[in-house]
Amino acid sequence: MQLREEILEKIIERASGLFNKSQEELNADTRLAEDLEAKSVNYSQIITFLEDEFEVEIPFMDFRRKKTLGEAAAFVEGIMEG
């Protein structure tokens, strides 16, 4: 499994619990604000989960600018790869 796919899988895992959606309903094109109606606290919960999971620092404001779960995964991958 490629790193981005692994990150996306973890984002979907966390988002499904936060937004009461099945993992099958979520994919790389799922929009955080429009489809999931994510609020600041939800972004923080996802970021904290990913930081713990991958031992990486994720800037909140930069992460929040990502529109889809796939964009968020690509952003985190970029941080991890330096």
CATH number of the domain that 26 lies in? 1.10.1200.10
Distances (CA, A) of 36 to 24, 42, 67, 68: 14, 10, 11, 10
Global pTM reads: 0.94
What domain range includes position 40? 3-81
For residue 64, what are its two tokens?
């929040």
DSSP state of 68: B
In the prediction, which pLDDT does 1 show?
Answer: 74
DSSP state of 31: B
Provide the domain count of the chain: 1
What distance in Å separates the CA atoms of residue 62 and residue 1, rounded to the nearest whole number?
26
For residue 53, what are its two tokens?
């999971």
Per-residue pLDDT tens listing for the chain (82 residues) = 799 999 999 999 999 999 999 999 999 999 999 999 999 999 999 999 999 999 999 999 999 999 999 999 999 999 999 8
